[in-house]
Structure 1
Amino acid sequence: MKLLLVAATSFEVKDFISYCNSPEVEREHQVDLLVTGVGMVATAFSMGRALASRDFDLAINAGIAGSFNRDLKIGETVVVKEDRFAELGAENNDDFLSIDELGFGTSSYKSSFSHSFLNSLSGVSGITVNKVHGRQSSIESTIKLLKPDIESMEGAAFFYACKEVNLPALQLRSISNYVEPRNKDSWQIPLAVTNLNATLNGFIRQL
């Protein structure tokens, strides 16, 4: 199976890539790594360039994320069922009009891949942002408007690119922090990265 692994940074998936170079995996799969850089613009450009020149059976977006949902545990790996461009639209005084409501496009994209292995993971809704939330008032307004579980800076752009070329797409995220007024002392990035890679390893063994 030809797989495209998409990550904003190589740090987030380095252990998985090492595992993919093992004979056990290489007998069954060809895994190409695409490190896009952080953000939806970098992701969209990198995806477009990669998908224009190569064909794949499945694309996997993997990385860390912040969680609005306190029922999700720090370090937990989740599967993103739907992702949305949170800021794509227009302000209307105190209201927000999505690109859908304006009639100019679509802001929300869904996962197009399922597998029994994923049933053990929490399925979540995500938002993709240019500016991660760190102010209580904006956090509260975002929860009220969109009711997201997690946020990232790449997910919806990844889903968008895959949809445009009809490529099955899977997004896995591991929770590194809760979305709250910025407090880096509470972040657990190494734990999130370790658990994300363990999940990726387990998934590819069953694929």
Structure 2
Amino acid sequence: MNILVVAATREEVGILVDGYQLTVISNKTLGQSTENRQQTTEVLITGVGMTATAYALGRHLANNHYDLAINLGIAGSFDRNIPLGEVVEIVQDTFTELGAEDDTRFITLDALGFGQTVFKTDAHLSNYYPEHGVWQVTAATVNTVHGEESSIAKLHQRSRPQLESMEGAAFFYACEQAGVPALQIRAVSNYVEKRNRDAWKIGLAIENLNTFAVELLNTLKADKDV
């Protein structure tokens, strides 16, 4: 089973990479085909944001096939019922900024007839790791992470996401276009509110994310001969 782990930054998956001694795809090898690949796990660091994610994945998946892609990262939460540090599975993600303003009304790209903004994955963590026990949530993918009360209220009124990231929907989009089953797993590092770095739990989120990722890969290795 060939698996591609996708992350925006190496810091988010460094524990996993070092512990498993995984191959990290570099700019030099991005997009190069590995025809003799057998039962391997590789890591693609895309860079931050939806543009970098879509480009890196599109370029690499054009010449490489994987049985599963797993997006790992941290995220902010609108939902305060989700504890900081909690690991969650994102099953629906949305490009919430793609569209047009009509005075105070926002018109989505879907409503304009120019494309799709909401992406759901057909792959689910329960198919690969039935004992996972993590929350299933929805998310927004944004160019600017929110930190101002009125913009937070507008987004929440528009689509009511539980989490936000800068890459998730782009990951789902690229994998859908390439026909690769996709899982998005994130850990909550902060609540979406007026910017308050003192309240963030990035270290805890990264530790929990990587601990879960190791457990997931161990399960896949045992069940699917990774």
RMSD: 1.3
- The CA distance in 1 between the partners of 2:153 and 2:19, in whole Å, is 40
Structure with the bigger percentage of helix: 1
2:205 is aligned with 1:195: no
Show the 5 A alignment for 1:1-207.
1-21=1-21, 29-116=39-126, 117=129, 119-207=132-220
- The CA distance in 1 between the partners of 2:196 and 2:14, in whole Å, is 26
Q: Deviating runs (4+, > 6 A) in structure 1?
A: none
CA drift at 1:29: 4.2
Change over 3 Å in CA distance of 1:15–1:50 after alignment to 2: same
CA drift at 1:115: 3.7
- The CA distance in 2 between the partners of 1:16 and 1:164, in whole Å, is 27
Q: Percent identity?
A: 47
- The CA distance in 1 between the partners of 2:173 and 2:41, in whole Å, is 21
Give the paired residue count.
Answer: 202
Q: Deviations over 1:139-196 (max 9, x none)?
A: 1111111110000000000000000011100000100000001111111100000000
Paired AA for residue 41 in structure 1: T
- The CA distance in 2 between the partners of 1:36 and 1:140, in whole Å, is 30
Which consecutive unaligned segments of at least 5 residues does structure 1 have? 23-27
- The CA distance in 1 between the partners of 2:66 and 2:198, in whole Å, is 40
CA drift at 1:18: 2.2
Paired AA for residue 84 in structure 1: T
Q: Secondary structure at the match of 2:187?
A: strand
Paired AA for residue 196 in structure 1: L
CA drift at 1:31: 1.0
